[in-house]
Amino acid sequence: MQYVIILILVSVLIGLSKGGMGAVLAVLATPLLSQVMPVADAIGLALPMLMVADVFALWVYRNTWDMRYIKLVLPFAVIGIVIGTVLLANLPNQTLKHILALFTLAFAVYKLAGDRFISAEYQPRDWHGYVAGIVSGTGSALANVGGPPFTIYMLLQNLSPQTFVGTMTLFFALVNAIKLPGLMIAGLMDFSKLIGIAWVLPILPLGVWVGRYFVKRINQLAFERFMLVVLVIVAVYLLVG
């Protein structure tokens, strides 16, 4: 029963996140799944759910992205994905739990400091994108937490909100798709489990729609602060568990 409840909750969180309710929701997916399965299995199970939600998010934000940043950052994200996948396949589960907790706490710190990145004086350099790509790719492959480095980089580019969201959506949809072959080669995709969770997939587009509906009807700041508290609690539990 706990497995079913967490699976439904994760599906809802991913859908709401892709619908615009905040990346903090999707970050919770892997830590929650890791409560009922090894971290490597949680990554392999969460990825197809993220990819299904990506399809709907790409449709919602279609043609709003800036391909200059995708072309600059994505090749280096591939390097990070390779590094993260190798670590995921070879590190023991307890070590992966601790790494997942640290990535999760880093995300919370990033969210708390986000406004400072927006207001910072900044001179663009291509190598900043290279670093953001490698770190985002590694974090995404290792713990499904690749958002902060690329988000920080994009916040410093002074883009319109629509272009910012559209570029983020396309980048992580591509990153998730690129991660899939590596997880399959590393033997981290259990297709019998994937078939067993097919019943939750309709929840994802529903979550995207609900997220789009409520994103302008709730106090986003209060909501994100509440979710950050939940995020920190989960991360601490992973560290001490």
Q: Average of pLDDT values for 47-63? A: 87
| pLDDT reading at 149 higher than 90 | no
State the total domains in the chain. 1
Q: Average of pLDDT values for 136-147? A: 82
- pLDDT for the residue 23: 66
- pLDDT for the residue 115: 57
Query: In this structure, what token pair is assigned to residue 165?
Result: 């969201």
- pLDDT for the residue 179: 93
Q: What pTM value is reported for the model?
A: 0.79
Asked if 203 and 19 touch (Cβ cutoff 8 Å), the reply is no
DSSP, residue by residue, the chain: -HHHHHHHHHHHHHHHIIIII-HHHHHTHHHHHTTTS-HHHHHHHHHHHHHHHHHHHHHHTTT---HHHHHHHHHHHHHHHHHHHHHHHHS-HHHHHHHHHHHHHHHHHHHHHHHHHHHS-----HHHHHHHHHHHHHHHHHHS--HHHHHHHHHTT---HHHHHHHHHHHHHHHHHHHHHHHHHTT---HHHHHHTGGGTTHHHHHHHHHHHHTTTS-HHHHHHHHHHHHHHHHHHHHH-
Give, as one character, the DSSP assignment of residue 144.
Answer: S
112-136: b or e for each residue (b if 16 or more CB lie within 10 Å)? Answer: eeeeebeeeeeeeeeebbbebbbbb
Question: Residue 65: which of 171, 172, 163 has the closest Cα?
Answer: 163
User: What letter represents residue 198's amino acid?
Assistant: A
Q: pLDDT class for 171, splitting at 50, 70, 90?
A: very high
Ranked by mean pLDDT, the top range of 111-115, 129-133, 201-205, 213-217 is 129-133
Q: Average of pLDDT values for 167-178? A: 92
Q: pLDDT class for 134, splitting at 50, 70, 90?
A: very high
Q: Average of pLDDT values for 124-137? A: 87
Which one is predicted more confidently, 14 or 118? 14
For 14-18, 95-99, 217-221, which range has the lowest pLDDT when averaged over its residues? 217-221
d(CA 185, CA 44): 12
Range of the domain at 204: 2-240
pLDDT tens figures, 81-113: 999 999 888 888 778 777 777 777 776 776 676
| pLDDT reading at 143 higher than 80 | no
pLDDT tens figures, 182-211: 888 888 787 777 787 888 888 888 887 787
| pLDDT reading at 56 higher than 80 | yes
